[in-house]
A and B are shown apart, each in its own frame.
Chain A
Amino acid sequence: MIWNKKIECMSRDEMHALQSEKLKKIVAHAYNNSPFYKKRFDEHGVRPEDIHSIDDIVKLPFTVKQDLRDNYPFGMMCVPMTQILRLHASSGTTGKPIVVGYVQKDLDNWSEAVARCLTAYGLGSDDLVQIAYGYGLFTGGLGAHDGVTRIGGTVIPTSSGNTQKQLQLMQDFGATAVACTPSYALYMAEEIRKQGLDINNFKLKVGIFGAEPWTNAMRKELEDKLHIKAYDIYGLTEISGPGVGGECECQNGTHLWEDLYYPEIIDPVTLQPVEHGQKGELVFTTLDKWGMPMIRYRTRDLTYLNYDKCDCGRTAVRMGKILGRSDDMMIIRGVNVFPSQIESILLEFPEYEPYFLIEVDRVNNTDTFDIQVEVKPEFYTDQINELVRLRQRLTSRIQSVVGIQPAIKIVQPGTIERSTGKAKRAIDHRKFE
């Protein structure tokens, strides 16, 4: 099934014309209503009149995550706050979150995008969708919620956590789909086995998985254990949330809803667009988002685009797997972690050297988060309790800033690589193939 056949199956020429019209309008809106964008465009020597078609998008300056932090909380809004109906936020690197705001039209477009994904997964008004993404400032819960409502399905808003209750309701209510992170789904599958529940007593047929990278091996495991088809849902808070794109029944790339979120792939070093099909950094322009438009927002996700028509009938461009990041951000247990955060925390402690090595792995479907650190020679002591206390203080500080608890390992002096600049500060042993 296709939710919006006109758009999702539009010819490339028609899509080009639609995107061109929308880009002109949103650029004018941003320029005229946002001191941030006006200044940025003026510095770049570009004005709304210079934009005649979507191809002119390359004349526009980029927007980056730091811009959202610098303008915290409401400096990126392009409408008066009286028109903003909802705020969402995601964790930032220094404890300061990034904030996004939505007008009614933005919420409508967001639920439209999620509705397209859900329909592509084969879901409709007969379905009961258990939403085990966190509800709250995180876009996952409410984003999926509004999408299910849009297609007329039944929402089971359990939010994340309390797995035993989740499973009981899932079984008793006969949920036909579950939306959560793929690692939480694997955890649930493990709990089903541990509690001796029979998967045949569940009515699940679809898994809606996103918010963290996952592999085809995980897909197979989830499909086997939960007796479902497991589909990717892609999104990011800055662009709107989950539903920027989703897979179809072909499970051969994630369709991006490019009438709403225009994707480009650029070389992260030269910042120039790459040839079609080449790998590079994904950049989005929100073509129909009015509360807080994002113009050429650099996602830092590395991937490639495929403009061939899909076997499902959709012409909507498909994105490949996320191959990595053009910065050093890692997603650990669903939380964004930057090695630079760890560095700045270590600098707060006179007892520690500013060198560290983060190691991430996935054991029993849970991410491990180990950090090797060194104590400065003058702060070593013959008393073990003092070192244990020192380690505990660092653990607590990192947990409060980053949001997840690391396992701190104090190593011998000189163990950690010293070369600045290119030093390997993080090793991700998880396999996303």
Chain B
Amino acid sequence: MLIRQISVFLENEKGKFAEIARLLGNNNINMKAFTVSETQDFGIARIIVEREQIERAFNLIKANSYAVTMTHVVYLECAHKPGAMAEAMEKLAAAGISVEYMYAFADSSSEFSHVIIRPDNTELANQIISEL
């Protein structure tokens, strides 16, 4: 499934992620998942929120002078069993797809782990994932 993700450019300084988290929190927007990648002097926070809140979250962050982009990423429900992830990744590799980055989160109440994948070919990757 394709879902939308918000990416925010952050200077690598104390309290920067707190600013974003506070901004969303004060506006009653819950982060379902996020990851932060960093270099020495800047980082990028990638955030998933509820589908019906994403436009509002995006506009809110943008209005507060942050560099923010919205991208489509592939969402994979990966079964809680050994080898499930390997199978998905092998299929992507076989189709010649490179993964730019990915992150995963699990919740014990579900039989699936949730994996977010940013491939170089989003459409094709989504097709492969949905056929799993």
- Chain A residues engaging chain B, CB cutoff 8 angstroms: 375, 377, 380-385, 387-388, 409-414
Contact = CB atoms under 8 A, between A and B. Distances in A.
A382 B118 contact: yes
B69 A380 contact: yes
Given A375-B9, A412-B10, 18 more contacts: A375-B67, A380-B7, A380-B68, A381-B69, A382-B46, A383-B44, A383-B100, A384-B37, A385-B100, A387-B42, A388-B39, A412-B11, A412-B65, A412-B66, A412-B67, A413-B66, A413-B67, A414-B65
A413 B69 contact: no
Contacts, number: 49
Nearest to B66: A412
Contacts of B37: 384
Main SS of chain A's interface residues? Answer: mixed
Contacts of A414: 65
A411 B44 contact: no
Contacts of A409: 11, 41-42
A387 B7 CA distance: 13
B65 A381 contact: no
26 contacts: A375-B9, A375-B67, A380-B7, A380-B67, A380-B69, A382-B5, A382-B7, A382-B71, A383-B100, A384-B38, A384-B39, A384-B43, A384-B44, A385-B100, A387-B9, A387-B39, A387-B44, A409-B11, A409-B41, A409-B42, A410-B41, A412-B9, A412-B11, A412-B66, A412-B67, A413-B67
Interface of B: 5, 7, 9-11, 37-39, 41-44, 46, 65-69, 71, 100-101, 118
Nearest to A407: B41
Nearest to B12: A409
Counting chain A CB atoms within 10 Å of each CB, the highest count among B10, B43, B44 belongs to: B44
A213 B39 CA distance: 35
A381 B7 contact: yes
A380 B44 CA distance: 10
Contacts of B69: 380-382
Contacts of A413: 65-67
A409 B10 CA distance: 12
A354 B100 CA distance: 30
Contacts of A411: 11
A414 B44 CA distance: 17
Given A388-B39, A412-B10, A412-B11, A382 B44 contact: yes
Contacts of A410: 9, 41-42
Nearest to B65: A414
Contacts of B100: 383, 385
Contacts of B65: 412-414
A429 B35 CA distance: 36
Contacts of A385: 100
A109 B41 CA distance: 52
B3 to A, nearest CB: 13
Nearest to B73: A382
B50 to A, nearest CB: 19
Contacts of B5: 382
Contacts of A388: 39
A384 B11 CA distance: 12
Contacts of A381: 7, 69
Contacts of A384: 37-39, 43-44
A410 B44 CA distance: 12
Nearest to A384: B37
A377 B41 contact: no
Counting chain B CB atoms within 10 Å of each CB, the highest count among A381, A382, A383, A413 belongs to: A382
Nearest first, the 6 closest Cβ-Cβ pairs linking A and B are A382-B7, A380-B67, A414-B65, A384-B37, A382-B71, A409-B41
Contacts of B41: 409-410
A377 B10 CA distance: 13
B21 to A, nearest CB: 16
A388 B5 CA distance: 21
Nearest to B38: A384
Nearest to B42: A410
Nearest to A386: B100
B68 to A, nearest CB: 7
Contacts of A387: 9, 39, 42, 44
Contacts of B101: 383
A411 B67 CA distance: 10
Contacts of A377: 67
A128 B48 CA distance: 71
A380 B39 CA distance: 15
A384 B7 CA distance: 10
A414 B9 CA distance: 13
Nearest to B44: A384
Contacts of A380: 7, 9, 67-69
Counting chain A CB atoms within 10 Å of each CB, the highest count among B65, B69, B101 belongs to: B69
A414 B37 CA distance: 22
Nearest to B118: A382
A409 B39 CA distance: 11
A352 B96 CA distance: 33
Contacts of B71: 382
